[in-house]
Homo-oligomer: A and B are copies of this chain.
Amino acid sequence: MATQKQRSDATRQKLLEAFRASFLARGYEATTTQQILDETGLSKGALYHHFRSKSEIIEALYAHESRAAIDRAVENVAAHGSPLERLKASYLEWTRTVRAPDMARILFEIGPSALGEAKSKEIEARAANPPIKRLLALAIDAGEIAPPDEELLVGLLNALVAEAALHQLHTERDPLATLEVTFDAIFAAMRG
């Protein structure tokens, strides 16, 4: 009937989508494998053939969402301007991007709670830090900035936008203006 790869990809997708919906609706712990198997009409064998564990599923979903967010952000930011301007613009655009409610819940609530703060940050960093660090390096080369500890600076900036993202998720108030002022201040303070 269908090729093996087609069957395999289809069930894998079916499982991921069902889990994603259930994680969003009920949270990680409250989502049971049995529920998903009932919904999809699949079996435990199928599930554990495709994934080693329940946590591997949220890990896959979290990684996918992290990459989607950063990709969309860099995609929408202008390629012209100074490195520092583009760095700031990327962060602000990311903050706008993660306003998508489902994305926000996976990135800030479900993923970290299920995987642990450490592991989720590591995954997030793997997706987001390369383009960030690239821009930062350009800014340093161009003499726009001279931070004492690049790693720490990236961490602090990430923490700032993450907090701002969380804040807008809970309060509906727009943190972008404050965020921009803050960035400008930090960049100014770290000029050569």
Q: Which residue of chain B lies nearest to A112 when distances are taken between CB atoms in the complex?
A: B117
Task: State which residues 153-180 of A face B: CB under 8 Å.
Answer: 153, 155-156, 158-160, 162-164, 166-167, 171, 173, 175, 177-179
Across-interface contacts of A155 in B (CB, < 8 A): 163-164, 166-167
CB interface residues, A 129-171, toward B, < 8 Å: 147-149, 151-153, 155-156, 158-160, 162-164, 166-167, 171
Is A189 in contact with chain B by the CB < 8 A criterion? yes
Tell me if A181 is interfacial: C-beta within 8 Å of chain B: yes
Cβ of A118 < 8 Å from any Cβ of B?
yes
- Distance in Å from the Cβ of A64 to the closest Cβ of chain B? 20
